[in-house]
């Protein structure tokens, strides 16, 4: 900014007949500090924890600790003052593969969480277990769409998978009565894989499920998974494939983004697909790849690069509108609220707020607890953010503390 001001200033000097009186250079803008309303240690011993802040609603914030550990917990705090409401840690068979953040969702004041094939239903308000289902035949690992859960079931074991099916059930059915909506059989030397689906309703009122349909290759680990990848659109009313796009390269991590009749998906580039026909509308390469979630604001698609910052693209053409080099790599989820994109990064462990319209950095803050020698490695890292829109509060964590930040008024 200062470089550009000096450039304009010097240009004015040389373009005028009379040399103007020098004006003082404007001061550098100061970075606004976080308006932290409260912060509470995750434990009284102030040990380091892996924390993901997950959900905020009804004056309560929900988060998880020790995501891949036998001591994993789900915890809830009062969103207004940070007081601890409950802790749930009564898992039957804690295992090292536990991943609360990706296998947990809230529905109708109930928390559903899966632990290596076992499903728990926990009351959101009290933290009491409502029911437990042992030996669920397929981990959740996919997506909740409305009041239904979609997941993948396979036959055979890798590398000898013989088929993959996309299945669904109503959440209220206690995970019984799975409905198979799509199946693909393996062909010689290959196995089918599906990725997280998203749903779009076409002009005729039919729900169209879109997902990555990947053909992996059997063989040595070095060659496995290097097959052809498609985007497949399935009409849930007719159970027929509506279209298939075969120009998709790579594999998305965050689910695709649906905006009106367009699908945005990240892979080797950012792709924009016409949901009516499956045709490619535009493709935009992103330096370092794009691996995070996507959001749209007015006519702007916001994309986080893998290691190289954040982009604002024209959602109709893919043309670059702005670029923000401040955000680090390894950003998982972008949260849009009131025209501002919030996220955390494991690159430098910062908390970011970026104006979605202009790309200007509002926040680029590290945890204030880094100044304390006992918590010197405090980092927002992969904590993510949860926002209570009614109270205009943002919740995050820094490995030691869960904190509540007041968002500015409109």
Distance CA 387, CA 405 (A): 9
Ranges 18-32, 66-80, 292-306, 394-408: which has the least confidence: 18-32
CA pair distance 7, 407, nearest whole angstrom: 35
CA distances from 344 to 68, 324, 366 (A): 20, 15, 10
- pLDDT tens string 185-237: 888 777 888 888 999 999 999 999 999 998 776 655 544 445 678 999 999 99
Q: Each residue of 50-59: pLDDT tens digit?
A: 888 999 988 9
What lies within 8 Å, CB to CB, of 399 at 6+ separation is: 48, 49, 50, 51, 375, 377, 378, 379, 381, 383
Q: How far is CA 133 from CA 104, 112, 165, in A?
A: 15, 11, 21
**Cβ distance 197 to 209 under 8 Å?**
yes
In this prediction the pTM is 0.85
- Under the banding of pLDDT at 50, 70 and 90, the label for residue 48 is confident
Q: Is the sign of the CA dihedral 113, 384, 141, 388 positive or negative?
A: positive
Phi and psi at residue 230, in whole multiples of 5°? -120, 160
């Amino acid at each position: 900014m200062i470089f550009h001001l000096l450039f304009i200033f010097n240009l004015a000097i040389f373009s005028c007949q009379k040399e103007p009186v020098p004006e003082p250079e404007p001061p550098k803008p100061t970075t606004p500090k976080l308006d932290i309303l409260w912060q509470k240690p995750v434990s009284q011993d102030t040990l380091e924890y892996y924390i993901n802040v997950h959900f905020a609603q009804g004056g309560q914030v929900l988060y998880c600790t020790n995501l891949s550990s036998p001591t994993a917990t789900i915890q809830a705090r009062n969103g207004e003052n940070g007081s601890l409401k409950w802790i749930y840690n009564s898992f039957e068979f804690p295992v090292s593969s536990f991943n609360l953040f990706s296998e947990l969702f809230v529905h109708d004041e109930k928390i559903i969480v899966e632990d290596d094939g076992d499903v728990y239903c926990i009351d959101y308000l009290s933290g009491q277990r409502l029911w437990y289902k042992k030996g669920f035949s397929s981990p959740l690992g996919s997506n909740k769409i409305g009041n239904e859960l979609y997941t993948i079931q396979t036959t055979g074991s890798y590398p000898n998978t013989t088929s993959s099916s996309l299945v669904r059930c109503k959440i209220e059915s206690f995970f019984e009565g799975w409905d198979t909506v799509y199946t693909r059989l393996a062909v010689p030397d290959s196995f089918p894989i599906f990725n997280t689906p998203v749903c779009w309703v076409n002009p005729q009122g039919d729900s169209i499920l879109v997902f990555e349909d990947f053909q992996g290759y059997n063989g040595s680990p070095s060659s496995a998974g290097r097959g052809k990848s498609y985007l497949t659109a399935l009409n849930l009313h007719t159970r027929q494939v509506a279209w298939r796009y075969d120009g998709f390269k790579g594999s998305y991590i965050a689910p695709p983004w649906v905006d009106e009749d367009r699908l945005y998906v990240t892979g080797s580039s950012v792709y924009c697909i016409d949901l009516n026909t499956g045709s490619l509308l535009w493709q935009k390469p992103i330096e370092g790849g794009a691996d995070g979630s996507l959001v749209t604001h007015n006519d702007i698609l916001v994309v986080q690069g893998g290691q190289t910052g954040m982009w604002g693209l024209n959602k109709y053409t893919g043309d670059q509108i702005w670029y923000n080099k401040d955000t680090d790599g390894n950003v998982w989820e972008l949260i849009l609220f009131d025209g501002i994109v919030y996220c955390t990064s494991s690159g430098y462990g910062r908390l970011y707020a970026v104006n979605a319209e202009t790309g200007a950095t509002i926040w680029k803050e590290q945890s204030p607890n880094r100044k304390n020698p006992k918590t010197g490695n405090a980092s927002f890292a992969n904590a993510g953010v949860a926002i209570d829109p009614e109270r205009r509060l943002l919740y995050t964590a820094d490995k030691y503390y869960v904190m509540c930040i007041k968002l500015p008024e409109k």
